Every structure is written in C-alpha cells, then in structure tokens.
C-alpha cells in the first residue's frame, strides 16, 4: 500500500480512545485522528469526514443515515463499537460498498449503572449532595427498596441482570415485554403481567428494551398516567422509547415522583432541556456502558477490525 489510510475516531468525549487500547498495529498503515467533540449538524459532519477512509464510531453517538453516507465517497469502513448499531443504515452502507464492523460488548456495566440510577432517585442523592456542597445538610426523606415492587420492561441480558440484583434488595418483581413468556419471567424471579399492570403496580419502572418500531414512544402519556404518584421511571436503555413531552409534563405536574434517565432522544442533551433543571429528575450523560473495562474491549476490537480491513484493502 502506497499511502496511509485516514482513520477518524469520533465522539471521544473523555479523551479515552488512545489510552484504552494499543494502537501500534496501525503504525505505518493509518493516520489516526481523534475527535472529542460531537457534531450534530450533518453538513458539518460530512465536511469533517470527507477525507477519511475509515470511521470509528462509539455506539450510536453519531448517526450514519443514507443521506450522510452518500456524501462520503472516500469512506470504506465504519468500525462501530458493540455488536450492533441502530444509527448506521447498514443497507445503504452495503450498497455503497462501505464495510461495517462491530466489537464485543458486556452488559454488566449497564446493569450496575441501572442500580446506581434507582438508588440515586430513591434516596435523592444528587439533591442531597448538592445541599452538602452548598453548606446545607439533610433536605429530603428517601424511599426504601425492600418490599417495593420493581417493574421491568424487558428481560434480556440487561433486564435479567437487573432482576437478579433486585432479589438481593428483597423487592417484588413483575415484568412485561411484547414477546415475554411466563416461563421466562419466572426464570428471572419475576411474575409476568400486562403492560398496564406493570405501570400501575410498580414503585419503580425500569426500561430495558431494544429501540425499534414497536418500542419507539412506547412509554406515552397513557402509561405515565397509570403510574402511582409515588413511583419512579428509570431509563438506561434508549431515549426515544419514552415520549419526552409526556414525561416532562408528568414530572412538572408531580404526577409521578421522579425519573432517572441515562439515555435521551437527542444526545448530547441540549443545554436548555428541562431534564437538566427539573428537580425530580436524575439525568446522567449516557454512562451505562462507560467503564474502563468496556472501553478496553471496544477499542481493542476496533484496532483489530481496522487492521484486518487494511490487510484486505
């Protein structure tokens, strides 16, 4: 090969990409450029990526629809982290001759983080911490978990892991998804219920569904109206599963106690978004998978994928 290939690493918010793996297998083969900022504007994104032959994408931070891919004639590879990426139009990529590669993924970090969200909401940890930092002391009374009902929407790898930990807290478990069976729920220590019963009975509803046509907007005003005024909604899955307008209305009018959210329809979350200021919201910047071990796995596999692609180019 006569010249280096241009490789872009996108959305490296924490400047962690190069430190998370050994990139030396690409020495002499690739010119790697790391971008730590996020470009939401498609025209600006296209202009930035025009010179690159390969793009390393972190999960779904940057979408690659057909209209973007068609404007990148030099692009030959999208090396995405995790086993799938719904933000990439893989059909368009294939038709345009752009290869798409993926990496391994572990669900443990998201399982653990879901419980961080539940505990933060139940014990109002962000508000209590802010009070201490400002010179105050106790400002609220938290909720117990033992004896409460946890409603789990989805018992896949993450949802089933969340269920295992709930049993240690001695919570009652109920579960629902479109294709869930009673046997599956029972195997995870839960009782299968209808969607309506899940939202009506649960003290904490936690979402662990894959985003798709059937789940987009699944948590709407109807479901939120079923929830107890003392209940909390937890979402560490995908933002568009929840109707933002309906949830903001329910939170503003205190029709539910609160929400703990790690995923949003628009990321990064706009500076003036209500989730940043509502007092009954715990909002975190999509941290469920952001751990050192997960990043090592992502970027080690990414280097391997890029090197393998260069070898066959």
Residue positions annotated with a catalytic role: 238, 267, 286
Q: Among 142, 146, 148, which residue's Cα sits nearest to residue 124?
A: 142
Q: Is the peptide bond before 236 cis (omega within 30 degrees of 0)?
A: no
Contact 152, 162 (CB under 8 A): yes
- Other beta carbons within 10 angstroms of residue 267's beta carbon come to 17
Phi, psi of 251 (to 5 degrees): -70, -45
- Using the Cα atoms of residue 219, residue 221, residue 222 and residue 227 in order, give the sign of their dihedral: positive
């Amino acid at each position: 090969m006569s010249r280096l290939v241009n490789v872009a690493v996108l959305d490296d918010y924490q400047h962690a990409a190069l430190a998370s793996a050994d990139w030396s297998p690409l020495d002499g083969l690739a010119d790697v450029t790391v971008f730590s900022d996020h470009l939401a504007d498609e025209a600006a994104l296209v202009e930035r990526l025009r010179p690159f032959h390969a793009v390393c994408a972190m999960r779904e931070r940057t979408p690659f629809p057909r209209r973007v891919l068609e404007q990148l004639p030099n692009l030959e590879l999208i090396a995405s982290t995790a086993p799938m990426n719904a933000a990439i139009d893989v059909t368009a990529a294939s038709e345009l001759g752009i290869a798409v590669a993926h990496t391994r993924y572990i669900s443990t970090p998201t399982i653990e983080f879901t419980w961080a969200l539940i505990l933060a909401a139940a014990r109002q940890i962000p508000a209590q911490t802010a009070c201490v930092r400002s010179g105050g002391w106790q400002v609220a009374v938290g909720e117990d978990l033992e004896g409460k009902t946890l409603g789990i929407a989805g018992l896949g790898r993450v949802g089933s892991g969340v269920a295992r930990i709930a049993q240690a807290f001695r919570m009652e478990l109920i579960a629902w998804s479109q294709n869930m069976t009673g046997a599956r729920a029972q195997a995870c220590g839960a009782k299968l219920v209808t969607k309506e019963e899940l939202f009506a009975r649960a003290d904490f509803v936690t979402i662990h569904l894959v985003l798709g046509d059937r789940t987009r907007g699944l948590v709407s005003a109807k479901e939120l109206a079923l929830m107890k005024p003392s209940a909390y909604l937890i979402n560490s899955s995908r933002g568009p599963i929840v109707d933002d307008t309906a949830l903001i209305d329910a939170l503003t009018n205190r029709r539910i106690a609160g929400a703990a959210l790690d995923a949003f329809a628009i990321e990064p979350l706009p500076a003036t978004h209500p989730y940043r200021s509502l007092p009954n919201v715990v909002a975190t910047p999509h941290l469920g998978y952001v751990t050192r071990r997960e990043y090592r796995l992502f970027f080690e596999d990414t280097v391997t994928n890029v090197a393998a692609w260069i070898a066959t180019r």
